[in-house]
């Protein structure tokens, strides 16, 4: 069973952190945070399949 709650928290926290980075005009950090979260979420989904 896919842990959607865990995935939601992972992505929500990454988005929050990325928005804070964008508020500081730190685009590279925001980009890295979102890419890492995407990869982690994809890995979790594939591990549960």
Share in percent of the chain as helix, strand, coil (round to 5): 85, 0, 15
Q: Which one, of 11, 16, 19, lies nearest residue 36 by Cα?
A: 11
- Number of domains the chain is built from: 1
Q: Which domain holds residue 14?
A: 4-48
For 1-49, what is each residue's pLDDT tens digit?
889 999 999 999 999 999 999 999 999 999 999 999 999 999 999 998 7
Our CA dihedral for 31, 44, 5, 26, rounded to 10 degrees, sits at -10
pLDDT of residue 1: 81
Local structure of residue 2 (DSSP, 8 states): -
Q: How far is CA 9 from CA 15, 39, 47, in A?
A: 10, 14, 17
Q: What's the pLDDT score for residue 2?
A: 84
pTM exceeds 0.85 for this model: yes
């Amino acid at each position: 069973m896919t842990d959607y709650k865990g995935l939601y928290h992972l992505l929500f926290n990454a988005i929050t952190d990325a928005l804070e980075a964008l508020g500081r005009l730190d685009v590279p950090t925001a980009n890295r945070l979102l890419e890492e979260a995407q990869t982690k979420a994809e890995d979790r989904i594939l591990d549960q399949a």
